[in-house]
Structure 1
């Protein structure tokens, strides 16, 4: 497989003072699912916003490093140009347009498309993945349940026909059964559409189960990466992210920030 996204030695500064990303590098291969894991504040969402061009909206800026998509630099492109190139970010917290209908939300996702016939075909595709949206087509998005809103924002992303879809915490606030359903559909989208997925997710076990490759972040850096079958067997990953430690206070996930890392995590 060839890389469609390459992030090289990226540094991101907020408000000209807070260094959030400190030389971060990662790749996403064509048609793959890549998990980006880490504790709160590690810089996962900032990484996605740097790729999608949203940093200036939050007084953030890329101060060093490069981002290449399909071999072309997109390091400082505006969000609408990045979407047109084939990258779409599904934001944390769903972010539907609450005062618009489901139909209107979906049409917003298709603004880069020119063909009405193709939009209609893509809508039918979304309804096959999420039939409930067809039944709720004329409802205001603000009245949908949390799970329905998550289905809506993923469908809205599909209407943009992305080659790379970035998902930020898709399981947040959802019931476990619904989370499993959402993740199964993410797998189907990846398989059926060939859409590469960059997945930020607190549920490390579930994220690694559907991914091909994983990166683990701490304080703005990648501290470990590898194929998911290797990561799932790694003692540190099991202890810090999968809740499989011995339960002592000094090694529990709850106290991971205060735990002395092994030397290879700090290298």
Structure 2
């Protein structure tokens, strides 16, 4: 029996216009449509495949504002059994270190967690640091950037894709933490039955105080990095048309030289 916690995150849809808040230059999440991050769908799918091959339970865990409930329900409609939602205004602007501490505290409330599965990087922040930081905080072996995962009893094996397109074969004893890449699987679509069932599945909502964390330990004021200034990208200018009268190549070269591209 394998009990799995999957980390999920609600992110702005990449097809929506995204912008920063004028007040503190954090991501303005209310200005864009929000979805369950695609890499998290793959993480949920992998957890479900592991459980379906044997026995166990899948718990999804999200840290985010109230509207993140929509992303949680998407994961539950795929087949996850229950969820934990850490929602607190004090978390606004938290960096990856504070976020990992909050997740670690939430997981610490659970008994018998065998495996934690996360995406390797979110599409909104792109830091890619939470899985490794979380594994360090929990004292777990970390098997990151997995494109294949196999659980055999108390042993987990992973094919890890490296930057030079090689593959490293990793093995560890459970409990452990795994982060997956987009090559891990193709996530299932929630069925109508799954969508209806998700409405009745338990979602526990917690604050940082519930986790024994002081609000002064999280949030933008406690972040190790801050955006001091930001400006929208300039509008795209019209291109320059080159008429070729036998000297088109020369004109293009002169233009590129003028732009200091050659």
**Structure 1 length-normalised TM:** 0.24
**Structure 2 length-normalised TM:** 0.25
Q: Tell which structure's C-alpha radius of gyration is larger.
A: 2
- Higher share of residues assigned helix: 1
